[in-house]
Chain A
Amino acid sequence: MDPTALSLTLKLATATTLILVLTGLPLAWWLSTTQWRGRALVEALVTLPMILPPTVLGFYLLIYTGPDSTVGGLWNQMMGTTLPFRFEGILLASVLFNLPFVLRPFVTGFSGVDRRLLEASWCLGVSRVSTFFRIALPLAWTGVVSGIVIGFAHTVGEFGVVLMMGGNIPGETRTLSIQIYDDVQAMRYDEAGQTAGWLLAFSFICLCVVSSIQRRPLST
């Protein structure tokens, strides 16, 4: 397994998961508690990447983050670089593409929390933020951990959108799944098979973790 591709993949998956935990937790909490009518619309919008072909997302990202676009121009002014074919570009793509995979387990977790417990906490004078961290989050932990594990694993396995947005640049955008594609084209079947085997084992272990924690009874 190529060490550069491995470390790049871990870096991408870690950064994607962190961003998605930070943005996904409040968003999921809001989605599972709001009574607002537009909720279904927001939920459909954030779930879109789950069924959208990666090429569609890749296409829009390439067009709307290119050097001539508004977003690309702004980024260029701030950072002095372009987004497509760079790590920052695939990170953006990865965050958007994995949003539903992290968000859905989060929402499921929060929806299972008994509202009476939250209200009891508020009535006892505990702040909303504190209630979230001390009551909601611990009770929804299976959903939260599932979301984190699935988000991380799904980023490791991403292919289409990374290839379109990132090209295939060693050390910058060549992740393990793209390394396999490249190895097969070069007819390096041994290397491709080795990487594929590791990814197979990794994905299987992740799914085992997720199903085992989802079977666990709530520890209260």
Chain B
Amino acid sequence: MNIPRSALLILCCVLSACDRSQNQPQNQPQTLTLNIAVAASVRYACDELVLSFQKANPGVQIKPTYGASGTFYAQLRQQAPFDLFLSADSEYPEQMLKQGLTDAVFPYARGRLLLWARRSAGLNVANRGLEVLTDPAVSRIAIANPDTAPYGRAALEAIRSVAGLEEKVSGKLVQAENVGQAAQFTQSGAAQVGIFAESLIVGSDLNETGDWLVISDSLYSPIRQFGAIPSWCRDRSSTEAFRDFLLSEEGQAILEKYGFSAP
């Protein structure tokens, strides 16, 4: 009868000790933390932007969350605690402006759409372009969800720009939650071809393992990426400092390295 009770006692002690040790770091706010919501297309570029920014501003810690712009927009409407939102389009930030959720909206980059396949698949994407989608060897085409991801919308637009293509490939389309997942689906071989952001191939091994083509920007509406600072931002001046860094020559050079062009 003593065993169960002492076991419970020990468990309670362990649990309470765990809880106490977890609370300690929260009591020492030495650095300021900014949570930023970033479109998945900017993932690798943003990792480098944050590193460079923090080198110059060691007092500010920036924690990015990557995902679909539409998902973030829905969360921000519920006042999700993000201090900055970098969208993959202009629509979501402008909607926020209309709803009074932000008063600061700014363009920061322009993105491009890419058609990508594993080199080992031997599809020769670079020369065949969108026509490759009708190849019988292609049974799955990964795009981001057009309802929540601007790159998914652009991908669908590009497919629709070729007459009769949509009917032939609509049964093959696989929708990923965001553009990063679309890239992962293709990279893993689950989908033979993917349409996603050019910016995702620089920071990953998609560059070496793939065979790709930048889709002509006449086939889809320009992907103008805007940012917004929500009105509940916890530290306005640090957030603005990061935004200014993003728009500075140094920030823009980093974005350019990852395949973005000036807004």
Contact = CB atoms under 8 A, between A and B. Distances in A.
B22 interface: yes
B186 to A, nearest CB: 10
A139 to B, nearest CB: 9
Contacts of A7: 22, 25
A159 interface: no
B56 interface: no
A123 to B, nearest CB: 20
B187 A171 contact: no
Interface stretch (B2-10, B215-223, B237-245): B2-10
A185 B180 contact: yes
A185 B204 CA distance: 11
A186 B18 CA distance: 31
B22 A171 contact: no
A26 interface: no
Contacts of B261: none
A184 B64 CA distance: 16
Given A11-B22, A15-B19, A84-B78, A141 B7 contact: yes
Contacts of A62: 78
The CB with the most chain A CB atoms within 10 A, among B18, B40, B204, is that of B18
A66 B15 contact: no
A85 B184 contact: no
Given A186-B180, A187-B187, A145 B4 contact: yes
Contacts of A172: 35, 81
Interface residues of A, number: 35
Interface in A141-191: 141-142, 144-145, 148, 167-172, 174, 182, 184-187
B33 A17 contact: no
B117 to A, nearest CB: 16
Contacts of B206: 187
A141 B75 CA distance: 43
The secondary-structure label for the interface of chain B is helix
A210 interface: no
A17 to B, nearest CB: 7
B204 A82 contact: no
Contact of A67 (B65, B79, B178): B79
A170 B62 CA distance: 10
A220 interface: yes
A145 B7 contact: yes
Contacts of B15: 14, 17-18
A141 B19 CA distance: 23
B148 interface: no
Given A219-B3, A219-B4, A169 B35 contact: yes
Interface string B6-45: 0110010001001100100100000001010000100100
B181 interface: yes
The CB with the most chain B CB atoms within 10 A, among A66, A141, A142, is that of A141
A11 B40 CA distance: 28
Interface string B207-240: 0000000000000000000000000000000000
Given A148-B11, A187-B184, A167 B19 contact: no
Given A10-B18, A82-B78, A85-B78, A170 B7 contact: no
B8 A144 contact: yes
Interface string B82-103: 1000000000000000000000
B163 interface: no
Nearest to A149: B11
Interface of B: 1, 3-5, 7-8, 11, 15, 18-19, 22, 25, 33, 35, 40, 43, 63-67, 75, 78-82, 177-178, 180-181, 183-184, 187, 204-206
22 contacts: A11-B19, A14-B15, A66-B78, A84-B80, A85-B80, A86-B81, A138-B1, A141-B4, A144-B4, A168-B66, A169-B81, A169-B82, A171-B33, A172-B35, A174-B65, A185-B66, A185-B184, A186-B43, A186-B180, A186-B184, A186-B204, A187-B206
Q: Which 8 A-B pairs have the closest CB atoms?
A: A141-B4, A85-B80, A11-B22, A170-B63, A185-B180, A14-B18, A66-B78, A168-B65
